[in-house]
């Protein structure tokens, strides 16, 4: 539903380290492209991990109508955390390598067009989720997903090519881990290569782990992948990039609002691609329509 705004506050939160190769001068873009008849802007820069959450939360407390995350998936996650269950909406100027939430929300990846979407100010509410109390808005994962996010966090190289190299390296030695999953009053026990939780359809870079996922339906899409050899890994990779993983015999899907996972051995896990740590007990919960956003959703 479109809203006509009269000089409402918009705060841009910029991660200076994100998308440094984009060549876009964000302050100049905002100055030249923002509709200042509707928006009264401010620009803040993050200085450390978690700072974006603090800035977003303070902006919401100050009555700011819209807070725009300028950065990649990590920055978007941090800003969105600070806006959960408030009357302040999230906007995105995508400057990351994956841009998973921006892609799902049909936000243009070119910054001038993304800024124009903010000028049009079409608001929607979307679901959010948490894994062991860590909020996520796109995807979270246990197992191989988590291990790769751990390796990527330690890597000095960013971008898709670096990520794929890490996947290949870690795949050579990773073994599926035993886990028990409580979902929809059912108990599933097996060795799992990946347990993925999808609020949105993709990880980023148009790699679709749950092509059918609807970020507004009040349901979490859970993807279970058991044993994976080289041939299966290639098939899964193809399925991710062609939106056909949902029809693959290698992946099993469930929908739910909450899910619990127990493992005897600590397993790596991530939230929106950011490595969280290891645990043996996992609680994943969905919170319906808990975040307001500006996006191009139908």
Tell me: the pLDDT tens digits for 153-211?
Answer: 776 666 677 778 778 888 888 889 999 999 999 999 999 999 999 999 999 889 999 99
Going from the N-terminus, what domains does the chain have, and what CATH number goes with each? Answer: 8-121 (3.40.50.10330), 134-287 (2.60.200.40)
Distance of alpha carbon 204 from alpha carbon 96, whole angstroms = 10
pLDDT at residue 22, rounded to an integer? 62
Q: Lowest mean pLDDT: which of 31-35, 155-159, 182-186, 272-276?
A: 155-159
Asked whether residue 124 carries a pLDDT value surpassing 80, the answer given is: yes
Q: Among 55, 104, 292, 77, which Cα is nearest to 211's? A: 104
Residue 224 and residue 181 in contact, taking contact as beta carbons nearer than 8 Å = yes
Residue 5's pLDDT is 47
Enter the pTM of the model: 0.92
**CB neighbour burial string for 60-92, b if at least 16 within 10 angstroms, e if fewer:** beeebbbbbbbbbbbbbbbbbbbbbebebbbbb
Nearest 5°: the CA angle 118, 275, 265 is: 145
Residue 90: HSE in the Cβ half-sphere, 13 Å Cα cutoff: 36
What is the reported pLDDT for 228? 87
- 21 pLDDT band (50/70/90 cuts)? low
Which pLDDT does position 150 carry in this prediction?
81
Write down the pLDDT at residue 280: 98
Average pLDDT, the chain: 92
What φ, ψ does residue 23 adopt, rounded to 5°? Answer: 75, 10
Average pLDDT over residues 234-258: 93
């Amino acid at each position: 539903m479109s809203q006509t705004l009269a000089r409402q506050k918009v705060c841009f939160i910029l991660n200076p380290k994100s998308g440094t190769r984009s060549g876009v001068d964000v302050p100049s873009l905002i100055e030249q492209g923002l509709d200042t008849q509707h928006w009264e802007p401010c620009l803040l820069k993050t200085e450390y991990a978690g700072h974006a959450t603090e800035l977003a939360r303070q902006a919401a407390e100050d009555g700011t109508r819209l807070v725009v995350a300028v950065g990649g998936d990590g920055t978007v996650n941090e800003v969105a955390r600070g806006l959960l269950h408030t009357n302040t909406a999230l906007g995105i100027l995508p400057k990351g390598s994956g841009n998973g939430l921006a892609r799902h929300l049909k936000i243009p990846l070119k910054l001038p067009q993304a800024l124009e979407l903010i000028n049009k100010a079409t608001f929607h509410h979307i679901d959010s989720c948490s894994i062991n109390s860590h909020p996520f808005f796109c995807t979270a994962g246990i197992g191989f997903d988590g291990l790769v996010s751990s390796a990527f966090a330690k890597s000095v190289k960013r971008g898709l090519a670096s990520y794929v190299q890490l996947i290949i390296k870690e795949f050579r030695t990773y073994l599926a881990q035993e886990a028990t999953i409580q979902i929809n009053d059912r108990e599933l026990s097996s060795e799992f290569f990946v347990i993925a939780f999808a609020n949105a359809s993709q990880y980023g870079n148009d790699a679709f782990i749950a092509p059918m996922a609807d970020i507004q339906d009040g349901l979490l899409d859970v993807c279970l992948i058991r044993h994976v050899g080289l041939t299966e890994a290639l098939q899964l990779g193809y399925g991710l990039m062609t939106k056909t993983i949902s029809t693959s015999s290698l992946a099993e899907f469930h929908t739910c609002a909450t899910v619990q996972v127990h493992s005897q051995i600590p397993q790596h896990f991530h939230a929106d691609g950011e490595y969280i740590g290891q645990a043996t007990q996992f609680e994943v919960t969905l919170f319906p329509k808990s975040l307001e956003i500006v996006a191009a959703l139908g």
